[in-house]
Amino acid sequence: MTRRANHALLDHAKLSKRDEFYTLYTDIERELQHYTRHFMNKTVYCNCDDPRTSNFCRYFTDNFTRLGLRRLICSCYRRYEADLFSSAHDGGFYRDYTGRENLDDITRFEGNGDFRSHECIELLRQSDIVVTNPPFSLFREYLRQLTHYGKKFLIISNINAITYKEVFTLIQSGEIWLGVNFGRGISGFIVPEDYPLYGTETRADEHGNHIISPNNCLWLTNLDSPKRHEFIPLTKTYRGHESEYPFYDNYPAINIDSTRDIPADFAGTMGVPVTFLHKHSPEQFEILGFRKGNDGKDLRINGRSTYFRILIRNKQL
């Protein structure tokens, strides 16, 4: 990325600090390598991405021929109003690329390029796969729109999103799942220099970009990958170690604090931490629910609430 592009990136970031986490090229490469076969002859839409600076756009233009893409659309949201950091400008814009156009060619929207605008929805309709890191503050709405239009997608999300009822419901039904990289598997995000830091790891790259490593993000997708069908090796047993697996007060299931402790021989319901979903294969386990016991309250052991738990059952037993 050029120095000039980096400045544009950061200027744009000042528009709305809360959602300005720019994805690193290396993290995009590391995840996308697992889905290559899905992109042949497809139209990819990056709908929260400045075509001039986004690493998603850069990745797909760099790999346009290798992936066999038909078309790449990158659209950028621009607020109209001037704020403390920027002057008023012209609204949103997009680049529509089929491998032949000049990469500097952009088209202005009439509106602001909001992913919910009719102009962006029209581009969404024309696309097959949406790939981006959307604004987390609008995550529910963003995902709802993708599923409403029946789109394939690969997007970055905060781990907390799993605990949203509507997101978990889609995971439970097997309509969406976690991608390959998770937590530290996503190395960091470029943020504006004056971004409020909250005890996260920070560093500067060779261009002077300010990078944070929040360790709390994941990829969410409905594109299949081989990893999704790998079984978790189960090395522990319930029999003989019953005391290590207490039952909940308000649900007939045992509690498990770490995915690696899931016993191979327990056929009943088990409560596992949210990180289990990163390793989940739908052929190995069935997801039954989350968090609540039969009384509608949080799962408890000896009167104490546990951390967020997902209830699963071993399908192989």
Binding site for ligand SAM (CB under 6 A): 16, 19-23, 48-49, 54-56, 77, 114-115, 132-135, 138
Question: Are the beta carbons of 54 and 97 closer than 8 angstroms?
Answer: no
In the bound state with ligand SAM, the residue whose beta carbon lies nearer, of 190 and 256, is 190
Say how far apart CA 266 and CA 316 lie, in whole Å: 10
Q: Which is nearer to ligand SAM, 134 or 293 (CB)?
A: 134
- H/E stretch holding 44 reads strand 43-46
Beta bridge partners of 76: 93
Nearer to ligand SAM, 77 or 285 (CB): 77
Nearer to ligand SAM, 47 or 255 (CB): 47
The Cα-based distances of 219 to 98, 162, 287 in angstroms read: 26, 11, 19
Residue 100 class from Cβ within 10 Å (0-12 exposed, 13-18 middle, 19+ buried)?
Answer: exposed
Q: How far apart are CA 75 and CA 50, in angstroms?
A: 6
130 versus 311: smaller Cβ distance to ligand SAM: 130
| Residue found under tokens 């109003």 | 81
- Closest separation between CB of residue 135 and ligand SAM, Å? 4
- Distance (Å, whole) CA 133 – CA 84: 25
Least Å distance, CB 9 to ligand SAM, is: 8
Smaller CB distance to ligand SAM: residue 74 or 312? Answer: 74
Question: String of b and e for 213-226 (b: at least 16 CB within 10 Å)?
Answer: bbeebbbbbbbebe
- Least Å distance, CB 269 to ligand SAM, is 36
CB of residue 273 vs ligand SAM: minimum separation in angstroms? 26
Cβ-based nearer residue to ligand SAM, 20 or 119: 20
What is the residue-wise DSSP string for 279-314?
T--TTTEEEEEESB-TTSSBPEETTEEPSPEEEEEE
Indicate the residue among 132 and 269 with the shorter CB distance to ligand SAM. 132
Cβ burial, residue 132 (10 Å; 0-12/13-18/19+): buried
Pair 294, 273: CB distance under 8 Å: no
Rounded to a whole number of angstroms, the minimum distance from the CB of residue 155 to ligand SAM is 9
With residue 57 as reference, give the H or E element that holds it. Answer: helix 55-62
Closest distance of CB 99 from ligand SAM, Å = 22
* Minimal distance, residue 84 CB to ligand SAM, in Å: 16
**Please, what is the minimum distance in Å from the beta carbon of residue 18 to ligand SAM?**
9
